[in-house]
Amino acid sequence: MGRKILFVTTDQQRYDSLGCNGGTIARTPVLDGLAAQGINYRRAMNQNVVCMPARSTMITGQYVRSHGVYANGVPLPADAPSIAAVLHDHGYRTALVGKAHFEPAMDLAGRWPENRFAREESTGPHRGFEHLELAMHGPLPLWHYGKWLLEQPGHWERGFYQLFKDGKMNGEPGGETGAPHVALNPVPRQLYHTDWTAERAMAWLRSLDADDDWFCWVSFPDPHHPWDPPQSEAGRVHWRDLDLPPAHPRSVEESRRILEGKPRHWLAYFDGAHSNLEGGPTDFVPARMTHDQVREVNALTHIENELIDEAVGRILACVDERGWGADTDVVFTTDHGELQGDFGMLFKGPYHCEALMHLPMIWRPAPSAGLPPAVVEEPVGQVDLAPTFATIAGVPVPEWVQGTALPTGPGSGRERMVTEWDSQFPSEGLHLRSMFRDGWLVTAYEPGGGYEGTEGELYDMAEDPWQWRNLWDDPDYRSRRQELVTDLYDHLAPERPDRLTVEAPV
């Protein structure tokens, strides 16, 4: 009997949402405890700031330009490498419960397997997972959770925010403040997708034999918008009691002043001239958002994070009940962050900044491994997850993996991490290449989307952690900019020779 692997992910969760990373509002004792017992990576970065590219990196261990899923409308090829398949081939039982999203989600025709399994009453196999039970952000019966919820008495599906309407992302106001993508949801907590995901994961774990080795990816759909947790939990965090988040500029005028120093699509999104097709509702205008709306969105996000933390605690208790606690590694992270009021904005999109790129990442090695707790400041990324799982399992790291197993302590010598963006819509045409190194964040804009290829962003993160002062055009930092941009392009991964096609833009 070897080490088991519990891989827990969330969707759109900020680095600073956890107490162990400086969060002061949401109570996250379970995840904080894992960080205290294990390794907390203080500079984990994603390889793309939206779901499908980031998740494709997690399962393949490859950078976006190599696996080819550069946007949410580009499905991961059926023959793409999968670390789950590697583990399964070496005798591991494998499951994915919750949100997969390696394939386009709003697929009413069922072109891709993820959107057919529930309708076909199937649980896999798929991409190396022998068992899948899937959920997304609402009750549509395209996935197991939505189908299950519709079968429960009470018509609870009616209380969720309707994420898509008339073929596009819905932007109707809701909640107490008229905030976008907010709903007061009467659904009982035990019927909400966070608890459902935990319960289905535990059911699978309880189905295994005691001596099975297993890899279980538990993927919570929250705290991704829409923000509609069970209304019964609203008392956990009152939005009226919240201050604005630290990186909110406090006024429309100050937001504009800051955004004027960035490439123009930032301010264009803020003022409603850029629709942010790939990150949020197209009719949302951040400049019109009230401070109370920011507070309500943040309060609901904190509530969702608390529910996730408690759900993880229940799964860990199940692992202990099965007698596996001493031999189970736990890895926790997310796919990308959320603006959540920074710069006076919401959602995500082609905006390379801390709010979207900087991830919580925790690895609690199995106690039997005997590794001491540590804090790692060197940059790591999602590309490093697949080789870490192989290392835990004691199997060779596949040659197609481009990352390196996560370090177990400081002093790894790691220097940089790269994040990329390529628009799926010709009308957007944005191409961003970013690198974090030595406390600097640099982003080079390649030609497209109205940019000539000379524009960019440069931030000294120690002096300007909120990225309010863009140094790209500052003559005092010209040599620093050039050196970082050269280093960035020297370390881009090989590009896939056949560019994948956008098949279902979202």
Residue span of the structural domain in which 8 resides: 4-407
49-90 residue pLDDT tens: 999 999 999 999 999 999 999 999 999 999 999 999 999 999
Residue 168, domain member (yes or no): yes
135-165 residue pLDDT tens: 999 998 999 999 999 999 999 999 999 887 7
Total number of domains in the chain: 1
Residue 182, domain member (yes or no): yes
Q: Is the pLDDT of residue 368 over 90?
A: yes
246-285 residue pLDDT tens: 999 999 999 999 999 999 999 999 999 988 989 989 899 9
Residue 41 contacts residue 23 (beta carbons within 8 Å): no
Residue 438, domain member (yes or no): no
Residue 397, domain member (yes or no): yes
Q: Is the pLDDT of residue 167 over 80?
A: no
Q: Which residue has the higher pLDDT, 2 or 126?
A: 126
Residue 152, domain member (yes or no): yes
CA dihedral 187, 281, 381, 197 (to 10 degrees): 20
7 exposure class (CB count in 10 Å sphere: 0-12, 13-18, 19+): buried
Question: What tokens were used for 378?
Answer: 């060197």
What's the rounded Cα separation, in Å, for the pair 29 and 467? 30
Residue 176, domain member (yes or no): yes
Average pLDDT over every residue of 95-115: 95
Residue 160, domain member (yes or no): yes
Question: What tokens were used for 230?
Answer: 């069970």
Per-residue confidence at 473, pLDDT binned at 50, 70, 90? very high
Residue 460, domain member (yes or no): no
CA angle (363 as vertex; 361, 366 as ends), nearest 5? 165
CATH of the domain at 205: 3.40.720.10
pLDDT of residue 1: 63
